[in-house]
Amino acid sequence: ICTGDTMDINELKKKLKNFNPKMYDHCVRTMEEAEKLAVHYGADREKAKIAGLLHDCGKKMTKGSDNLTHSRIGANFAEEVFKVHDEEILNAIMYHTTGRENMSLLEKIIFVADKIEPARKYEGVERLRKTAYYDIDDAIIISLESTIEYVKVRNLDLDNDSLKTLKFLKEGK
Ligand code: FE
């Protein structure tokens, strides 16, 4: 059984660099941010690192496809190519762009780490960084709301999965 604890993160990094060089730096930064959040919230540190590192491994193949698709392909690659069989890690990769109802702490951490890793620059990112370490649910709400706003302004298709996540988190407040 290949769980988070027994995987060599350096091996995974090497493999990812070859597999998806374009996403590599962002993935490493997301891994580091995810580790910090895991320590802060008492989540499994190794799983957070692996999920953070591999969260966008499926991105290059899916230009133009929707959010859940690139995440789902990423989760497939994580399993088939990187031999990660841990269900929690795979779900964190799968739901890192849309979220879902009843997210696990690890899923929330990967979702947020991706949006606040140090190279991210957009309006509101500083507020999101602070919120992330204060109330991770609020951070997801803020992030989803601004994504939905972005989509509305540009008349793009609203992502139903993201809307469901947002509704669920707001009802839990
Ligand atoms: Fe990402």
Ligand 1 centre to CA of 140 (Å) is 14
What is the identity of the amino acid at 91?
N
Say how far apart CA 147 and CA 87 lie, in whole Å.
Answer: 27
Q: Are 154 and 109 in contact (CB under 8 A)?
A: no
Ligand 1 centre to CA of 33 (Å) is 12
Say how far apart CA 115 and CA 129 lie, in whole Å.
Answer: 9
Say how far apart CA 10 and CA 47 lie, in whole Å.
Answer: 14
- The pTM (predicted TM-score) of the whole model is 0.93
Q: What is the pLDDT of residues 81-130, one digit of tens each?
A: 999 999 999 999 999 999 999 999 999 999 999 999 999 999 999 999 99
Q: What is the pLDDT of residues 35-87, one digit of tens each?
A: 999 999 999 999 999 999 999 998 875 556 666 788 999 999 999 999 999 99
pLDDT reported for residue 64: 60
Say how far apart CA 10 and CA 3 lie, in whole Å.
Answer: 15
Instruction: Tell how far CA 74 is from the center of its chain.
Output: 11
Ligand 1 centre to CA of 172 (Å) is 26
Ligand 1 centre to CA of 144 (Å) is 14
pLDDT reported for residue 6: 61
Say how far apart CA 17 and CA 14 lie, in whole Å.
Answer: 5
Ligand 1 centre to CA of 114 (Å) is 5
Q: What is the pLDDT of residues 137-150, one digit of tens each?
A: 999 999 999 999 98
